[in-house]
């Protein structure tokens, strides 16, 4: 049973974890929080970002903070599955007889860093499927259990396409979160340079063991979820399917394939951990809304219309959250573009559109005249068709007026 003491202990331990990670990683608050939530909930994380933003350093720092065995696998096109899982080799015993002996691969650890996972071939990528889901590895018909807790933290570079192999959907679905690692701000960049001038090594201390992490996971699993909250979470996942009963307008227009049932499991498990981090023993609607993007963004397949209109998965998730919240009469903290599905535009205005079509109402309020911002309007003929010519109000005069002015 969850008590106030267990919630307070859970929160204090999380604060210590974040404090130590901040010694090695500057900024990236949402990425760090999402990674820790996934580790406590027992999920895997895919970190996506350009080179040099601290993806590998974050994973190495987590290995120090949680004081667990850490293995790094550098994925390359020539990496083989046996290089990841291990293989049987021939050895000789004391009597000189030859026998097969299993040599474990780097996957037999607690924290696995799959660096640049999209550079390996699909054959090698699939070597992690069983380990990520069942926490077992089968080699030559023998299944071996992984050490608990077990996590796969993978990184990939979205910029380069040469020599890369996109992850199959079956493997993408096994990641609880897909976190986008942004570029640091100016202040954060200055702090990063100052920190790395002193030392390039990680300096975080161990504050949590594997046994404590498993106890935190056990505590989080006991957090209750109200029926209405559970229904809301499952509706968010079901709304991503364009042909389902709960299909949203955004999914019907922009989504080709929706999220799998693993999305619902990940959303609830992560929401329980997030509620405990905030000192609550119940899951709130706000927890689900905040976690919807990292849970759903990599589980949806966009159709051609979304790609052509440059609608990202995060845009679709915001539309779905806004629509489902409206169904349940729930206020969304961050306003989402509800009319984007009908208009086929993003919530933010495009800079090119703003530059080409100035806002006339704003100009009038600022005291600007129509001569400074001329309005271009089409001329409509008697037959109802638009004339190709355009006239500018305030500049064109007829011939009669010109003649009177000349006299």
pLDDT tens per residue, range 59-83:
888 888 888 888 889 898 888 988 8
CB 94 within 8 A of CB 50: no
What is the per-residue pLDDT across 5-59, written as a single tens digit (0 to 9) for each?
888 888 889 999 998 888 888 888 889 999 999 999 999 999 988 887 888 888 8
Measured CA to CA, the distance from residue 62 to residue 68 in angstroms comes to 9
What is the per-residue pLDDT across 121-173, written as a single tens digit (0 to 9) for each?
888 888 888 888 888 888 888 888 888 889 999 988 887 777 788 888 888 89
Measured CA to CA, the distance from residue 37 to residue 130 in angstroms comes to 22
CB 55 within 8 A of CB 146: no
**Who contacts 119 (Cβ-Cβ below 8 Å, separation ≥6)?**
75, 76, 77, 163, 164, 165
Asked if pLDDT for residue 207 goes beyond 60, the answer is yes
Helix (H, G, I), strand (E, B) or coil at 392: strand
* pLDDT-based confidence at residue 199 (cuts at 50, 70, 90): confident
Q: What integer pLDDT is reported at residue 333 of this predicted model?
A: 60
**Domains delineated in the chain:** 1-78+108-222 (3.40.50.300), 223-349 (1.10.8.80)
CB 316 within 8 A of CB 306: yes
Query: Pseudo-torsion of CA 361, 365, 371, 375, nearest 10°?
Result: 0
Which stretch of DSSP H or E encloses residue 366?
none
Q: What integer pLDDT is reported at residue 335 of this predicted model?
A: 35
* Greatest pairwise CA separation for the chain in angstroms: 125
- Answer yes or no: pTM beyond 0.85: no
Helix (H, G, I), strand (E, B) or coil at 267: helix
Angle at 348 between CA 285 and CA 47, to 5 degrees: 60
What is the per-residue pLDDT across 355-403, written as a single tens digit (0 to 9) for each?
333 343 344 444 444 334 444 444 444 444 444 444 444 444 444 454 4
Q: Please, is 130 exposed, middle or buried when counting C-beta atoms within 10 Å of its C-beta (0-12, 13-18, 19+)?
A: middle
Spatial CA neighbour of 85 closest among 68, 100, 66, 71: 71
Q: Name the DSSP letter for residue 282.
A: S
Q: What integer pLDDT is reported at residue 171 of this predicted model?
A: 85
Helix (H, G, I), strand (E, B) or coil at 318: helix
Beta bridge partners of 145: 136
Distances (CA, A) of 102 to 65, 82, 90, 273: 31, 11, 9, 37
What is the per-residue pLDDT across 318-359, written as a single tens digit (0 to 9) for each?
999 999 999 888 876 643 334 444 444 444 444 333 333 334
Q: Name the DSSP letter for residue 344.
A: T
Look up tokens 């992850």; give the residue: 167
Q: For residue 167, count other CB atoms closer than 10 A to its CB.
A: 20
């Amino acid at each position: 049973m969850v008590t106030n003491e267990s919630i307070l202990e859970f929160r204090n331990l999380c604060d210590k974890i974040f404090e130590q990670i901040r010694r090695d990683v500057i900024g990236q608050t949402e990425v760090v929080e999402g990674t820790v939530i996934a580790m406590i909930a027992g999920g895997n994380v895919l970190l996506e970002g350009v080179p040099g933003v601290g993806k590998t350093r974050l994973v190495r720092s987590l290995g120090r903070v949680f004081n667990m065995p850490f293995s790094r696998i550098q994925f390359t096109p020539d990496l083989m599955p046996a290089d990841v899982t291990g293989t049987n080799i021939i050895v000789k015993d004391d009597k000189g007889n030859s026998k097969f002996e299993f040599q474990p691969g780097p996957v037999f650890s607690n924290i696995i860093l799959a660096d640049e996972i999209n550079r390996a071939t699909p054959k090698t990528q699939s070597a992690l499927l069983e380990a990520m889901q069942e926490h077992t590895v089968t080699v030559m018909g023998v299944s071996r259990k992984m050490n608990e807790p077990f996590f796969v933290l993978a990184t990939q570079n979205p910029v380069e396409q040469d020599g890369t192999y996109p992850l199959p959907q079956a493997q993408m679905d096994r990641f609880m979160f897909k976190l986008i690692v942004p570029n640091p701000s100016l202040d954060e960049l200055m702090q990063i340079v100052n920190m790395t001038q002193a030392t390039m090594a990680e300096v975080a201390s161990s504050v949590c063991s594997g046994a404590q992490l498993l106890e935190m996971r056990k505590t989080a699993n006991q957090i209750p979820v109200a029926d209405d909250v559970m229904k809301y979470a499952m509706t968010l996942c079901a709304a991503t399917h364009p042909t389902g009963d709960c299909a949203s307008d955004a999914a019907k227009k922009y989504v080709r394939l929706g999220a799998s049932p693993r999305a619902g499991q990940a959303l609830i498990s992560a929401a329980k951990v997030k509620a405990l981090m905030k000192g609550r023993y119940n899951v709130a609607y706000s927890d689900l809304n905040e976690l919807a993007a990292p849970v759903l963004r990599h589980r949806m397949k966009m159709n051609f219309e979304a790609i052509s209109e440059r609608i990202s998965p995060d845009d679709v998730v915001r539309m779905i959250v806004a629509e489902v919240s409206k169904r349940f009469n729930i206020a969304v903290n961050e306003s989402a573009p509800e009319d984007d599905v009908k208009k086929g535009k993003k919530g933010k205005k495009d800079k090119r559109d703003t530059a080409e079509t100035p806002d006339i109402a704003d100009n009038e309020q600022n005291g600007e005249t129509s001569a400074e911002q001329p309005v271009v309007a089409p001329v409509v003929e008697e037959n109802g068709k638009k004339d190709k010519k355009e006239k500018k109000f305030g500049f064109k005069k007829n011939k009669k007026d010109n003649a009177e002015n000349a006299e």
